[in-house]
Amino acid sequence: LKNLSEEYKKIAIEISNSRKEVAKRIEKLIEKELLDLDLKNSIFKIDIRTNNKIKNIGFDEVTFLISTNKGEELQEIYKIASGGELSRIMLGFKKVLSDRDKIATLVFDEIDTGISGITAQIVGEKLAEISKNHQLLVISHLPQISVLSDTHFIISKETVGDITLSKVLCANYDEKVMEISRLIGGANINETTIRQSKEMIEIANEKKERLRCIEK
């Protein structure tokens, strides 16, 4: 028992050393992703502390810490991040770990909260990259992200008597064009917004094809 206990501790130390080495690399990669995702002043740290109880994953307690604004102290992610920030932080994680993550389906809700323009385009491209290895379900209200979908769903609500029903439509190409046009122009859908919608979808399809060719 003593010999096995010593061997167990030796392995736990090796795991801890490897974990700390990898954590330094992940911190830099995550901060780069957060910078791209318009969380410019973010600092990300992996806090690794050793306790006396050895488990099957070693004897480390690991906590992810973040500061999203200058002057703020590092705190646990769940304590300070908003819904939109959490989605983008998770997106950064999945981008960094996409080639090792074995989770088949990822859901991103409020991924576009507080972003627009070039940041929205970057978020969309990162989602497209992750989709090479995972199925993604993305709820978005931005055309820059929505045009990149392989399958586009339109969700609406309808009141029938005293009951509210949610309806999900799997959109064909023309329906997707109209939905993207609505995201671009609101209620003002016209030939210009429809043409712009088609151009955005065409560019998005070409971009996805390039990404997948690079992967192959």
Per residue in 129-155, pLDDT tens? 888 888 999 999 899 999 999 999 999
Mean pLDDT of the chain: 88
pTM: 0.73
For residue 204, count CB atoms less than 10 angstroms from its CB and return exposed for 0-12, middle for 13-18, buried for 19 or more.
Answer: buried
The first and second tokens of residue 79, run together, are: 């304590």
Please report which confidence band the pLDDT of residue 214 belongs to, taking 50, 70 and 90 as the band edges. low
Distance CA 123, CA 38 (A): 9
What pLDDT does 187 receive? 79
Q: What is the pLDDT of residues 39-48, one digit of tens each?
A: 888 899 999 9
